[in-house]
A and B are shown apart, each in its own frame.
Chain A
Amino acid sequence: MELPDFDVRIPDTLKEAAELLARSAPGGAMSLAGGTDLLIRMKEGVSKPGMIIILEKIGKIKVIKASKNRIRIGGAATFDAIIRSKIIQNKAPVLAAACEKIGSPQIRNRGTIGGNIANASPCADSVPALAVLEAEVALVSQSGERRLPVIECFKGPKKNAFRPDEIISHIEFPAPKQPLRSFYLAKGQRKALSITKLSVACQMEIDSGGKVKKARIAYGAVAPTVIRGYAVEEFLTGKALSPGVLKEAEEIARKEIKPIDDIRSTMEYRRIVTGALLRRGLSSVGKTEQ
């Protein structure tokens, strides 16, 4: 397949970019960050923008910074920048772990977190991590800014909940006071450069008595969108991570996901292994506690 014809704009500011999007017919213009999803979709004829707006020059939306109690990641921050960021390594290791799973060095150099969200794939690796961080996505358009919890950004596979004229300017989440325990575990068809066939992200606070104070869990590639593990979160709250509790959590997880058969895996495999990964992850989190 060959790319169709299209116009290109490279605005210097977010405002300019928003203007360009607002001026064009819905879907007529699309923003391009790393291009690692969009160009492929265009080659396949799935996306047909007449104009692409390259976000490359808008430095503001690439910044990663921490304020007193919030962390903010620019929508056009690359995975590589996120993985290398000391802020993320220290305050949100679950996100660094998830971003490390993505693609190859080339893809991590080009691909951005905003693109990962906007692309709305249930397999997107950064999204389960952002979900357990309870991140909010800031969307900018000519009519101003609005915010959506990351988990509400998706309507279905490859369908985001944004207006076509909106740009993800940044993603924000609370900075934990003390480091929290977390993990991101994923399986693909091979060890690297493979699309995730199932994943589990978790971040939790454990009180001094060894009981779960707050648990946040999310699953990837086992439902039409990334989903939160509300049932397991509720079940774990207030409990110590004993082997019996872990076993039960595993079973609850299997029930709250809705996997399917596809070219990458089977429903049964996804169901069983998602539970197993959750149990293994929780068990290792429990161990570091001691």
Chain B
Amino acid sequence: MPELHIAGKPLPRPDAPGKTMGYTQYLDDWNLPGMLHARIYYSPKPHALIRRIDLRKALSHPGIHSILTARDIPGKNFIPMMKDDWTFLAEKKAIYPGEPVALIIGNNRESVCRARALIQVEYEDLKPVFDPEESLQTGAPQVNPLGNLIAYHKIRKGNIEKGVSEADVVIEGIYETPYQEHAYLETLGYIAVFHDKEIMRVYGTMQCPFYVQNAVASILGMPQNSIQVIQTPTGGAFGGKEDMPSLFGGLAALAAYKTGKPVKLVLDRRDDILLSSKRHPSRSYYRIGAKKNGALTFCEVKVYLDAGAYATLTPAVLWRCAVHGCGCYRIPHVKVDAYAGATNKIPCGAFRGFGSPQVVFAMERQMDKLAQALGIDPLHLREINCLRKGDETVTGQKLPFSVGLSETISKARSMSKWSKKWRQYPLIKGEKRRGLGCATFLYGVGLGAAGKKLDHAEAHIRIKSDGSVVFSVGTTDMGQGMETVLTQIAAEGLGGIPMEKIRMLPVDTFSVEDSGPTVASRATYTSGTAILSSCEKIITTMKKTASKLLSCKPEEILLEKGCFFRIKSPKAKQIGKNADNKKNAPFLTFEEMASECFSRHIPLSEYGYFDSPPTSWEPETGQGKAYVTYSFATQIAELELDMETGEIELQDIWAVHDIGKAINPQNTEGQIEGGVVQGIGYALMEFISFNEKGMIQNPSFSTYIIPTSKDVPRIHTAIVEVEYPEGPYGAKGFGETPLMGVAGCIANAVVNASGIDISRIPILPEYILQESRKL
């Protein structure tokens, strides 16, 4: 690897000043002349036929321009996602509380809000079903138009009976995990403008502009070259802005198309929580076995995800859930069955981890129970079984490189002083206990075999005549720091010019081609690779031009810190930084070169492309190269537990992550800390409460409780860099992993402290107290 000057350094984020000082303009800060406002009328019913929609009263409310229903859709009433089941506006049937039925458009927010209360819809109730396992039984009410089984995936490796017979110890468990709300700072919001009745422009907060482009194409029946989707600065997403912008961005476009005016559709917090997707709740049935020496012999998993009413992204979420269900271990015999059942509740979609935090929690509890049964240090049990370079995953994928799992374990072990503590803590008795718990896990980077078709990316770089640079990519920054990392990669790739010379343009479907969604921790390695490939082309041209100007051969040009040197001997170039070699050498600056190229009509404008390395999947056996590579991590939690109040006081969390290469270590730390905090919420406090009609009861932050800074313990981060040779400068993706092990390691620490079994999250004090009184 060459010496890096910019990539790999903790440089400040270009977007930080605007966001911290408050001058960044988010969608809702924008208003256009003559703009109308829209609001969703949604069905309050879990399952009902729509008999009649009476809009008269609402239409006569002052300030109302029009109200649109499914009948007003000129194109298709289908949101392109994974299956053709999801409608923009319910037409004959409404299948979950919160399903959009009408779009109210008016002069201001107050009128559309008040008119909403005046819409009268006659419903005929149908029997609902709220549990995914029940929904898959025969005779259950049919929720989804394409059937209640939204998806099913399986893995078969080895022979499960053989694995069972080889085991000295078998551990069983049933686990449940809750919904999780994304709780991004900026709620969903879109502005659509129908320019000269030619081009539909949609601006808004989103992860996947090309999804929105396709949604607008569907609802309006327009070709992609008439739809321009532009991402505005996005205040958090966490997966919640993967599927939902298609629905709401599509509706905003419909409103602009119908009214001919700019239309703003912004959800307030209540509507945002009520109408947007969540993390899938899960119930899983586990059985694992091991020999006396700790070696795992088999893992059998049956897991049910609650998909909610429509498929949206569930098939992909379930696939990841299946592939991650057996953890990060070498297991010869595996059987996984993963089901997603439709229920009459809010559709579930993407959320940081995408189906894996559910099963990581379950599997890591299983591993701890197994360790206890075997009398082995739980962290050591993981060391015994963890995947190493050359090993095979449960899908039969050989791991030829970049497997830093065991390094993360040993680093976390020494940082947390694990060995001393975990044996001692269970001996403490009395009211105040202490506990230590661990979780190890992997994360398949990118879309994997299930998302093959979308797994490519494009980048476009242009050098301006003054030597400043702009680039465009098709993946988005939603706060995770992609802009910073890609700018660093471009700066490095262009020969070490300062980051400040480079600007990332807003992501715009008119400037580069569909680069797939910004999900699955894929932006750095996909767009980063595409950027490097365009940088290379540009540098080749610049060197060639420089050699002409400096009267030498292109090989005699050395590019360093943004200067093109004519070096004395090309051989010396290889000796490294060669200060001597450069001394007194004639050179041209990057700016001079840009200007020279411009006046000589030599274009410095290049596209670069990323094409995913191959992946594969055999649906009958679940065998294949599921993902291009994996990120690995070990997380350890230390906590104090009050047996009398059931309260958990987190003390420390150690999070050690193998991410290939940290392009920006400060950003990496930020991602780890943020993910850990989100994991703390998932582990200890977040839940959605439903009434008997499937309606969310806590659509606000006074009742949907997420951690505050005071709930956060000391977080100790560490980065392990085991190079991924196919990624930019060795980087692989990792943005999601920091959340994934937190629930598992906290649960294991609670067990270590108290002996109370944990098979469900969130771990509320009410539960601890109830169980501690049984001891």
Binding site for B on A (CB under 8 A): 1-3, 5, 187, 189-195, 263-266, 268-269, 272-273, 276-277
Contact = CB atoms under 8 A, between A and B. Distances in A.
A187 B766 CA distance: 12
30 contacts: A1-B113, A1-B268, A2-B109, A2-B110, A2-B113, A5-B110, A187-B645, A187-B765, A189-B705, A190-B707, A190-B708, A190-B711, A192-B709, A192-B711, A263-B703, A265-B766, A266-B766, A268-B766, A268-B769, A269-B646, A269-B765, A269-B766, A269-B769, A269-B770, A272-B644, A272-B769, A273-B644, A273-B646, A273-B765, A276-B645
Interface string B679-714: 000000100010000000110001101011111000
B398 interface: no
Across the A-B interface, give the 4 residue pairs with the lowest CB-CB distance, nearest first. Answer: A191-B710, A2-B113, A192-B710, A269-B766
B270 interface: yes
B104 to A, nearest CB: 13
B711 A273 contact: no
Contacts of A2: 109-110, 113-114
A195 B766 CA distance: 16
Nearest to B702: A195
B121 to A, nearest CB: 20
B702 A263 contact: no
Interface in B80-117: 109-110, 113-114
Contacts of A266: 766
Contacts of A3: 110
Nearest to B644: A276
A190 B644 contact: no
A263 B113 contact: no
A276 B708 CA distance: 26
B708 A263 contact: no
Given A268-B770, A273-B645, A263 B765 contact: no
Contacts of B647: 187
Given A2-B110, A266-B766, A273-B645, A189 B685 contact: yes
Contact of A190 (B270, B705, B773): B705
Contacts of A277: 645
B270 A1 contact: yes
Interface string B640-677: 00001111000000000000000000000000000000
B183 to A, nearest CB: 13
B689 A263 contact: yes
Contacts of A190: 685, 705, 707-708, 710-711
A191 B705 contact: no
Nearest to A264: B703
Contacts of A273: 644-646, 765, 769
Contact of A192 (B113, B645, B646, B708): B708
Contacts of A272: 644, 769, 773
Interface residues of B, number: 27
Nearest to B708: A192
A84 to B, nearest CB: 20
A194 B705 contact: yes
A194 B769 CA distance: 20
A266 B702 CA distance: 17
A193 B646 CA distance: 20
A234 B645 CA distance: 26
Contacts of B110: 2-3, 5
Given A263-B698, A264-B703, A268-B769, 12 more contacts: A1-B113, A2-B113, A190-B705, A190-B711, A191-B708, A192-B708, A193-B708, A194-B705, A195-B702, A263-B703, A268-B770, A272-B769
A26 to B, nearest CB: 25
A268 B767 CA distance: 10
B486 to A, nearest CB: 36
Contacts of B710: 190-192
A232 to B, nearest CB: 18
Contacts of B770: 268-269
Contacts of A263: 689, 697-698, 703
Contacts of A192: 708-711
Contacts of B711: 190-192
Contacts of A189: 685, 705
A277 B769 CA distance: 14
Interface string B616-657: 000000000000000000000000000011110000000000
Contacts of A265: 766
Interface string B286-314: 00000000000000000000000000000
B647 to A, nearest CB: 8
Contacts of B707: 190
Nearest to A272: B769
Q: Name which of B268, B702, B709 has the most chain A CB atoms within 10 A of its CB.
A: B702
A270 to B, nearest CB: 9
B62 to A, nearest CB: 12
A187 B644 CA distance: 13
Contacts of B765: 187, 269, 273
Nearest to A40: B702
Nearest to B706: A190
A169 B332 CA distance: 76
Contacts of B644: 272-273, 276
Nearest to B271: A1
B763 to A, nearest CB: 13
Nearest to A3: B110
A13 B697 CA distance: 42
A3 B113 CA distance: 10
A277 B705 CA distance: 23
Interface string B705-734: 101111100000000000000000000000
Contacts of A268: 766, 769-770
A3 B689 CA distance: 26
B754 to A, nearest CB: 16
Contacts of B697: 263
Contacts of B709: 192
A119 to B, nearest CB: 14
B114 to A, nearest CB: 7
A266 B685 CA distance: 14
Q: Name which of B113, B270, B765, B766 has the most chain A CB atoms within 10 A of its CB.
A: B766
A273 B766 CA distance: 10
Interface in B743-767: 765-766
A282 B518 CA distance: 56
Nearest to B113: A2
B46 to A, nearest CB: 20
Interface in B100-149: 109-110, 113-114
A158 B128 CA distance: 34
Contacts of B685: 189-190
Contacts of B705: 189-190, 194
Contacts of A193: 708
Nearest to B117: A45
A108 to B, nearest CB: 14
A193 B705 CA distance: 10
A20 B188 CA distance: 42
Interface string B526-539: 00000000000000
Interface string B33-44: 000000000000
B687 to A, nearest CB: 9
Contacts of A264: 703
A91 to B, nearest CB: 28
A265 B766 CA distance: 7
Contacts of B113: 1-2
A93 to B, nearest CB: 22
A194 B698 CA distance: 14
Contacts of A187: 645, 647, 765
A269 B702 CA distance: 20
A217 B711 CA distance: 29
A285 B689 CA distance: 39
B711 to A, nearest CB: 5
Contacts of B769: 268-269, 272-273
